[in-house]
Amino acid sequence: MRGLRAPDLRARRARGSGRGISLVQTAASVALLAVGVLATVGSMVTSSQSTRVTDEMEIARRAVAERVEMLKAAPFAQVLAMFDDYVGNDPVGVVCPGKYFGVPDLTPPPGVLPDRVGWVEFPTIDAGGVPQLVETLDLPAFGMPRDLNADDLIDALDHSSNYKLLPVSVHVTWKGVEGISSIHTTLLLANR
**Tell me, what's the pLDDT at 2?**
56
- Each residue of 139-176: pLDDT tens digit? 999 999 999 999 999 999 999 999 999 999 999 999 99
84: in domain: yes
**Tell me, what's the pLDDT at 5?**
57
Are the C-beta atoms of residues 168 and 120 closer than 8 Å to each other? Answer: yes
101: in domain: yes
Q: How far apart are CA 101 and CA 72, in angstroms?
A: 16
Q: How far apart are CA 83 and CA 188, in angstroms?
A: 15
- Each residue of 18-49: pLDDT tens digit? 567 787 777 777 777 777 777 776 666 666 66
7: in domain: no
In terms of pLDDT, which residue wins out, 10 or 21?
21
> In total, how many domains does the chain have?
1
153: in domain: yes
Percent pLDDT > 70 in the chain is: 84
Mean pLDDT over residues 68-78, rounded? 95
Q: Which long-range contacts (CB under 8 A, 24 or more apart) does 131-138 make?
A: 131/80, 131/84, 131/85, 131/86, 131/89, 131/160, 132/158, 132/160, 133/80, 133/158, 133/159, 133/160, 133/163, 133/166, 134/158, 134/159, 135/159
**Tell me, what's the pLDDT at 26?**
77
**Tell me, what's the pLDDT at 42?**
66
Q: Are strands 118-121 and 165-176 parallel, antiparallel or unpaired?
A: antiparallel
17: in domain: no
**Tell me, what's the pLDDT at 126?**
92
Query: What's 158's DSSP letter?
Result: B
**Tell me, what's the pLDDT at 14?**
52
143: in domain: yes
**Tell me, what's the pLDDT at 28?**
79
Which domain, by its residues, includes 80? 23-190
Residue 6 has pLDDT above 70, yes or no: no
Residue 1 has pLDDT above 80, yes or no: no
Q: How far apart are CA 133 and CA 80, in angstroms?
A: 9
Q: What letter represents residue 142's amino acid?
A: F
Residue 119's nearest CA partner among 75, 173, 78, 72 is 173
Largest alpha-carbon pair distance within the chain?
Answer: 122
N-to-C CA span, the chain: 115
> Which band of pLDDT confidence, cut at 50, 70 and 90, is reported for residue 15?
low
Average pLDDT across the chain, whole number: 86
Mean pLDDT over residues 113-126, rounded? 95
Residue 117's nearest CA partner among 66, 169, 182 is 182
User: Does an H or E element contain 133, and which?
Assistant: strand 130-133
71: in domain: yes
In terms of pLDDT, which residue wins out, 1 or 177?
177
68: in domain: yes
Strand partners, 184: 171
Of the listed ranges 6-20, 55-69, 86-100, 117-131, the one predicted with least confidence: 6-20
